[in-house]
Amino acid sequence: MNLKKIEVDRKSREIIDKSKERGAEKHAAGHEKERGIEVSPLDRERVLSEIASVEKEEKPGASDIISIGDFQYKRKQREKQIEKILEKNLEDVYLNMPPAKQREFKVAGEQAARAINTLLNQAKTGLKKIIDLIKKWLLIIPGVNKFFLEQEAKIKADEIFKIKNKK
């Protein structure tokens, strides 16, 4: 972007220098009074049109612009999708927990969803990291079976990974 601005500045200086030369020639011939730098209206128009065309080139197209609000909205939507995947098939387990454990389970699930969402934003996302997060979250369930835990973590991680690969 700076190179384009430098190019426009250079062109405008050239035009001004040319108009100075013309002004000096006219002054020498006695046609105009000395006024410093004189730029003809045509030269001024040309410089302004060149500057406008460069500014249009510098601005990215509407499809290239992603506002922060859109990015945050998409991130929140993905986080909700992750939460739905995590809670899938666990309704009975959740309802059979004592209220204190339910709150702990819910808060830990939301934290896990945020952490997984952050991991999905990274270029290289490890499936193992996501599985470990889900396992830690599922360990809150009292008396959880080790095999159930492994199976659920892998199933949920695969579904979450499908969300990332859709984009």
In terms of domains, do 122 and 139 share one?
Answer: yes
* Arithmetic mean of pLDDT, 142-156: 89
- Amino acid present at 89: N
In terms of domains, do 98 and 134 share one?
Answer: yes
Q: Which of 48, 63, 78 is the last residue of a domain?
A: 63
For residue 36, is pLDDT > 70?
no
Sign of CA dihedral 58, 63, 69, 74: negative
Q: So what's the pLDDT on residue 104?
A: 92
Distance CA 63, CA 60 (A): 8
Q: So what's the pLDDT on residue 59?
A: 46
Cα distance from N-terminal residue to C-terminal residue, the chain:
30
* Arithmetic mean of pLDDT, 41-62: 58
For residue 118, is pLDDT > 50?
yes
Rg (CA), the chain: 33
Give the predicted TM-score (pTM) of the model.
Answer: 0.55
In terms of domains, do 92 and 142 share one?
Answer: yes
Q: Total domain count for the chain? A: 2
Q: Which of 86, 11, 84 is nearest to 46 (CA)?
A: 11
Q: Is 29 left (phi over 0), alpha (psi -120 to 50) or beta?
A: alpha
Name, in order, each residue with C-beta under 8 angstroms of 35's C-beta and a sequence gap of 6 or more: 23
* Arithmetic mean of pLDDT, 111-127: 84
